[in-house]
Structure formats: C-alpha cells, structure tokens
Structure 1
Amino acid sequence: MLTFPSAALKAKMYISKAEAWKPLEPNMQSCLTCPGEISVPDAKGTIQPICQAAYNNDFNEVRLLLERNSKYLNIQDSRGGDTPLICACKKGNNQIVSYLLKRNANVNLRNKVSKTKQNENLIKMLLRAGADVNATDSSGCTALHYACEMRNQEVIPLLLEAHADTSVKNQDGETPLDIARRLQFHNIESMLRRNL
C-alpha cells in the first residue's frame, strides 16, 4: 500500500533549487493554497506542488495531483505566474504537455516572462490546442521573435502557417525580421520575407 507524507511532515520540508528535499529553516513557514497540499515558499514567491512536479518532469506526480484536485490544472504560482502547462513547456516535456492539454489546460494563460523550449512537437500540440500564436510576453516578444532569435528553422514555418504576425514589434522596436537581419540569419530572413 502506498502512503503519502502528512501535511505536517510536508510542512517541514521544501524543494531546494537543486530539487532535493531539505528541511525548512526554523523561521520559514509553509503556505497552504490548496486543501491538503503545501506550497513551497522562498524569497521569490510560492511554487505550487504541481508546478514543481512539472518542472521535475514527474508525470506520475502531476497526474496524481490532478486526480486529487482538478483545480490544479490552471493554477499559477506566485513566483512567476507559471502554470503546470508552462512548467512542462519550459522543460520540453511533451508527455506532460499532452496530458495537460487533453485535460483542457488553458493554453493562453500567461506568466510574467514566458520563454519555453521550442521543439516542433510541442509547438504543434499548443497550436492545435488553440494557443494564441501572436501572444506577447512582458518584453513584447512573440514565439516568432524567439524562434528567430534561437534560429529555430523547424518552428518558424509552423508559426507562419498558423498566421504569426511578422510585423509585431517588441519593446526594443524589433520585428522578427529585424532580429533575423541583426543576427544575420539569412535563411530565416528569406522565410519571413516570403510571408510578407
């Protein structure tokens, strides 16, 4: 029979940046945000348990937490506003992303800064689920800006096919084409020009 730590035991522990369990300092207090679960406080905010599980690529823990409480699906941590879906995207975990999308995770919730791994399958899943291809982050960048910056020639055509707007300017006044020019990515420049 599987047993889980009690809330009192969980309150005595937190996950460090090295993702190892360590005891809390005496002056730290746990923050309860969902019934029966402990959030992990630190100087930057609170990490939700399901977000930590998604960061750790722990599919079984993500599934278990959602089975216990479906409200975790779109919960945002106070640290950066990440949702479980955003966490899984940041780590490029297609299995967790696919699972969360099947449960109807909100693909258009935004965090404070959103720059995720851009693998082709991940982008396809998010676009099929209705992600806003022209959503901007806090610096005004779209996925197309980042794909150009990262020279991601597999993702750029997917974004363009989904009607990514090549004229969106970020806070620096740059369009995706401007970024490709600045970085001298001539193939990407050509792709973007064909789409004008």
Structure 2
Amino acid sequence: MLHTPLISAASCGKLRLVRLLVEGGAQVNGSNQRGETPLLAACKALGGEPAWKESVKLLRFLLQNKADPNAQDQEGRTALMYACMQRAGAPVASALVAAGADPCIEDSSGASALVYAINAQHQPTVQVLIDACRAKGRDIIIIATETGTNRGPVTRRYLNVPPSPDSSPVSCMSPSDIILKTGSPITGRGAGGHRVATRRSWNKNNLDF
C-alpha cells in the first residue's frame, strides 16, 4: 500500500482529518511500502521555516498519541532528519526532541539529523540538537571549513556550539558513536565542509584545539 488514509492526511497537513482518523482507531505508527509513518510523512511535507502553526499542532498531536519519533523509512531517515532538511525551524525540532527523537541516529548514508541541520545552516535548530545531545551526556565537536580573511579555506573546531554562519554549506558525514583520544580527537571522514563527532564522556578540557 502506497499510502494509508492517515499518512495521506498527515502529508497534506489536514489536522482535523488526522484527529478523526486517530480517534477512529487508525494506527499512528502504521507505515507504507516506503517505510513512511504519518509522522515521517508530515515532516517530509514541511515547507521551510517557519512551519505553519497547524503543521506544528499536527506533529504534536501525533506525538501525543504515541507516534514513534525515531521510526526510520527505507532510507533510514527519521522525522527529525526531514524536519532539519526542510528547515522547519527550532519549534518543530524541539517538539520532536521532547518526544524522544535522537539527533544522532544515522540514515543509510551515514548522516544524522545533526548533520542535516548543520548543512542547512540553521543555527537555532543546530543548538536545539546540540542541547539534546548534551542532555544525554554527549559532547559534540563540529569541524567546519570556513572562508578566512584572505578568502581562503580555514578549518575551525566548535565544541558544543553551532558553527559560524560563514561556514561552507557542503555535505558531510557523521558517526553516531566514535572514540576520541585525549588530545587527538578522531572524527568521521566525510566529503568535506563539516564533520561531527560525538562521544558519551570525555574530558573536554584536554582537547587539543
């Protein structure tokens, strides 16, 4: 089945119809042949910042009715990843994170929601995701390629803060769990631009910046 009625209603942002279907017993976590759930479909359909208030209400309604914020489609992407890709805004990211969305889950390409938010250069959303990682005991190093004063590329590292708005918006990859050696952090190797490394516990005072 390509779409269930609930997935179709969610992807079209029809809150009233979504309510009626859920109250009528529709499966909130039912998926189609692409692995899309109603929550995933709703986030894929978000059209940029700021997300319409009705769209945010729809997402919160699904989450309140036990929609799985970490469900992944056939490409391994989550609702939070799509929200970041669509630049839906910090309120949407906050709602998903509050419901348990994990910003460090990777899709089939090895990228996480945090990576997508950084590449979208949306600092408020990046900060929401960094704060979520910090709340789980993870520190984040972002290695960004930026334009220096002489117009040449400069590599800078950011610890638990979003990169500069001047960072080069190119694709990157991110390991969700990586061992960092004190004084010599090892990061994921990507296509360039930004690299993100997370680890549950290490002494940030001993990092060699």
Same fold? TM cut 0.5: yes
Q: Does 1:117 align with 2:71?
A: no
The Cα offsets for residues 79-130 of structure 1, whole Å up to 9 and x where unpaired, read as x211111112222321110101111211111112324133111110111111
Report the counterpart of residue 91 of structure 1 in structure 2. 45
Matching of residues 134-173 of structure 1 within 5 Å: 134-163=104-133
CA RMSD in angstroms, aligned pairs only: 2.4
Per-residue displacement from partner, 1:111-158 (whole Å, max 9, x unpaired)? 123241331111101111111221111111111110111101111111
* Pair 130,185 (structure 1): closer, same or farther in 2 beyond 3 Å: farther
State the secondary structure of the residue aligned to 1:107.
coil
How far, CA to CA, are the matches of 1:193 and 1:48 in structure 2?
Answer: 43
SS in 2 for 1:74: coil
2:151 alignment counterpart: none
Instruction: Name the CA distance, whole Å, in 2 between partners of 1:82 and 1:129.
Output: 18
Q: Secondary structure at the match of 1:156?
A: helix
Which one has the largest radius of gyration? 1
5 Å matches for 1:17-166?
39=1, 46-70=2-26, 72-78=27-33, 80-92=34-46, 93-113=55-75, 114=77, 115-118=81-84, 119-163=89-133
CA distance in 2 between counterparts of 1:127 and 1:90 reads 17
Whole-Å separation in 2 of the counterparts to 1:142 and 1:185? 25
User: Is 1:193 paired with 2:149?
Assistant: no
Looking at structure 2, the residues matched to 84 and 153 of structure 1 have their Cα atoms a distance apart, in angstroms, of 27
Give the structure 2 partner of residue 34 of structure 1: none
Identity of aligned residues (%): 28
Following superposition, the deviation at residue 52 of structure 1 comes to 1.0
Distance in 1 (alpha carbons) for counterparts of 2:72 and 2:62:
16
Letter of the 1:122 partner, please give it. V
Task: Give deviations 1:139-180, integer Å, cap 9, x for gaps.
Answer: 11111110111101111111111117677xxxxxxxx835x4
TM-score of the superposed pair, with normalisation by structure 2? 0.58
**In 2: Cα distance, 1:153 partner to 1:185 partner:** 18
1:166, 1:177 within 8 Å by CA — same for their partners in 2?
no
Structure with more of its chain in helix, by fraction = 1
User: Residues 194 and 95 of structure 1: is their aligned pair in 2 closer, same or farther, counting only changes over 3 Å?
Assistant: same
C-alpha distance 185-121 of structure 1, shift in aligned 2 (>3 A) = farther
Regions of 4+ moved over 3 Å: 164-167
Total equivalences in the alignment? 136
Structure 1 equivalent of residue 181 of structure 2: none
